[in-house]
Amino acid sequence: MSEEEKEAPIEEKEAEKTEKRKKEEKGVFTLYKIDEGKITRLRPTCERCGPGYFMADHGDRYACGHCGFTRYKQTEK
Ligand SMILES: [Zn+2]
């Protein structure tokens, strides 16, 4: 069984890489949300590193930039 694979000519164009600059404020103020005296952590902390190490939000999962620990979000209703 040998199927002839059609190799489409790939045009290698040097695409101009436009670096998207995310306006991401890196600060502790973005991690906390103070609501009527209550402090709410917007992001979970790493289970390995302990409290103080926040995990980055990657959409469907959280990742710790310190140890690389990844935790998937629980989609419980
Ligand atoms: Zn960690």
Q: What is residue 70's predicted lDDT score, i.e. its pLDDT?
A: 93
Residue 32 pLDDT greater than 60, yes or no: yes
Report CA(76)–ligand 1 centroid distance (Å).
24
User: What per-residue confidence (pLDDT) applies to 77?
Assistant: 64
**What is the residue type of 13?**
K
Query: What mean pLDDT do residues 7-18 have?
Result: 61
CA–CA dist 47, 69 (Å, integer): 8
Ion ligand 1 residue ranges (Cβ < 5 Å): 46, 48-49, 64, 66-67, 69
Q: Where are the domains of the chain?
A: 44-77
Q: Which residue has the tokens 């419980």?
A: 76
Q: Judging by beta carbons within 10 Å of its beta carbon (0-12, 13-18, 19+), is residue 33 exposed, middle or buried? A: exposed
Cα 46 to averaged position of ligand 1 atoms, centre (Å): 5
Whether residue 72 is predicted with pLDDT greater than 80 in this model: the reply is: yes
Place of tokens 């952590």: 41
Q: How far is the CA of 52 from the centre of ligand 1 (A)?
A: 10
Q: Is the pTM of this model over 0.75?
A: no
